[in-house]
Amino acid sequence: MLQGLNHITIAVNDLDESFYFYVNLLGMVPHARWTKGAYLSLNELWFCLSCDTAIPSNDYSHLAFDVSASNFQEVKSKILNAGIKQWKQNNSEGDSLYFLDPNRHKLQLHVGNLFNRLEALKLTPYDGLQFY
């Protein structure tokens, strides 16, 4: 039986650029770095940067990072002031910022959780919505 998310690995084209982005801009903690990769963490999340040819998806697939409501504007400003490109405007409950990493992987800052989203869906349900 699955117990949770173990780690996330993303392909990066330039380790120096990606390492700087994830450590200095997003605040991940570095643990190890080598010629072709790095291990970082964000609280309990193990995050790996792996040198390869990054081919980000063109669909809605993305990684969403949790941020508190009290820190949202500060983190959002830090990202936007660094010239980071947005890929989508928020149109759902909770504050969100949709942005791209240096390899064009789709990322999101999000205030809220699954409970908040489910409560919002009771007010504005998706087409064909079923609750379990």
Share of the chain above pLDDT 70, in %: 100
pLDDT of residue 91: 83
Residue 88 DSSP SS3: strand
Task: Verify that 101 and 111 share a domain, yes or no.
Answer: yes
Task: Verify that 115 and 64 share a domain, yes or no.
Answer: yes
Q: How many domains would you assign to the chain?
A: 2
Higher pLDDT, 4 or 41: 41
Task: Verify that 40 and 78 share a domain, yes or no.
Answer: no
pLDDT of residue 81: 97
What separation in angstroms does the CA of 16 have from each of 22, 24, 60, 103? Answer: 10, 11, 27, 12
Task: Verify that 93 and 129 share a domain, yes or no.
Answer: yes
Task: Verify that 45 and 63 share a domain, yes or no.
Answer: no
Residue 8 belongs to domain spanning: 1-55
User: Domain ends where: 9, 26, 55?
Assistant: 55
Tens of pLDDT, residue by residue over 29-80, are: 999 999 999 999 999 999 999 999 999 999 999 999 999 999 999 999 999 9
Task: Verify that 37 and 62 share a domain, yes or no.
Answer: no
CATH code where residue 68 lies: 3.10.180.10
Task: Verify that 48 and 73 share a domain, yes or no.
Answer: no
Radius of gyration over every alpha carbon of the chain, rounded to an integer in angstroms: 16
How crowded is the C-beta side of 26, counted as CA atoms within 13 Å? 29
Task: Verify that 65 and 36 share a domain, yes or no.
Answer: no
**Helix or strand holding residue 69 (H, E):** helix 69-81
Contact (Cβ atoms closer than 8 angstroms) between residue 71 and residue 26? no
Task: Verify that 74 and 131 share a domain, yes or no.
Answer: yes
Task: Verify that 90 and 125 share a domain, yes or no.
Answer: yes
Residue 106 burial (CB count, 10 A): 19
Higher pLDDT, 92 or 29: 29
What separation in angstroms does the CA of 119 have from each of 43, 52, 62, 89? Answer: 27, 40, 22, 21
pLDDT of residue 85: 96
